[in-house]
Amino acid sequence: MEYFLQQLINGLTLGSIYGLIAIGYTMVYGIIGMINFAHGDIMMIGAFISLIVFLILIGLGVTWIPLVLLLVLVVAMLITAAYGWTVERLAYRPLRGSFRLAPLITAIGMSIFLENYVQLAQGARTKAIPPVITGGYTLVTSPDGFAVQLSNIQIIIMLVTIVLMAIFAWIIAKTPLGRAQRATEQDATMAALLGINVDRTISLTFVIGAALAAVAGLMFVLYYGVIDFYIGFIAGIKAFTAAVLGGIGSLPGAMLGGLIIGLIETFWSAYFTIEYKDVAAFSILAITLIFLPSGLLGKPEVEKV
């Protein structure tokens, strides 16, 4: 039981990171019906920016960790958001009226470009930092001495995820930007006729998704302590799977899908052969889509005629 509880905590932590990335996928798809396959690499860029800013601040003598992490978070979100805006402006906006396969091919090409760009700029070797947030709590200890640990970084990751999820759910439901996004999702042409700046709404959606990816990148750096130029592809595929599993276009579905994928990976790695953890996650996705084609919380698409 203690081992199960430990893996549950680990799975929820990993799933929270996937969920933050998946929100970016589901927001973009919900607004313009495109899959931004470069989104995982935006997260990777956010992770590298977080690492670079952290090392610069430490080198400048800023050693109070809460202040350092706050500055890292703000700078990483701003710069990564600029990357997200640039990707939308250069790779997606010109193809918005094209056939649906063109943006998909462009997204894959942008993903490859960003990976190689970071590889050339930062090198192919992994980058590591020592543990920044240490300490935690022992929840329970089994008779054989196995202790269930809940670390401070795990608490922070889960709390940050819950807070961000609440904030963006409120933004979508209650703010003028959220109303503009919902209107653009339903009918972009009619939204434009009613005075909504559709281009700006879509750009802001990319910016918000990229900022969330930056948060996920920072959490990834703090949790694992090691990054390389390829982490965006792996995490992006898992987050995309989470978004589809939860119901792409649904923010709660994206978070639910992320948690499910994280739990599947963690429990499979703990109790079965770790090499097949990805097979397990994708198999659950396939089974779910057979019986629930719109995902767990997704709504069936209604064709407009």
Residue 296 lies in a domain: no
The helix/strand/coil state of 91 is helix
Task: Note the pTM of the prediction, 2 decimals.
Answer: 0.91
Residue 68 lies in a domain: yes
51's enclosing H/E stretch is helix 39-59
Residue 186 lies in a domain: yes
106's enclosing H/E stretch is helix 101-122
Residue 102 lies in a domain: yes
What CA–CA distance (Å, rounded) separates 235 from 239?
6
Residue 2 lies in a domain: no
Task: Please count the structural domains in the chain.
Answer: 1
Residue 161 lies in a domain: yes
Which residue in 205, 221, 209 sits closest to 157, CA to CA? 221
φ/ψ of 110, rounded to 5, equals -65, -40
Determine how many CB atoms are found less than 10 A away from the CB of residue 91.
17
Residue 254 lies in a domain: no
Strands (E) in 58-203, as ranges, are: 127-128, 136-141, 147-151
Residue 143 lies in a domain: yes
pLDDT tens per residue across all 305 residues of the chain: 788 899 999 999 999 999 999 988 888 887 777 788 889 999 999 999 999 999 999 999 988 989 999 999 999 999 999 999 999 998 888 887 777 778 888 888 999 999 999 999 998 899 988 888 988 898 888 788 788 899 999 999 999 999 988 888 888 888 898 899 888 888 888 899 989 999 899 999 999 999 999 999 999 999 999 999 999 988 888 888 888 888 887 888 889 999 999 999 999 988 888 888 888 888 887 888 788 888 888 776 655 54
Q: Which domain holds residue 218?
A: 14-230
Q: How far is CA 103 from CA 29, 56, 98, in A?
A: 12, 37, 8
How is residue 104 written in tokens?
């998909």
End-to-end CA distance of the chain: 55
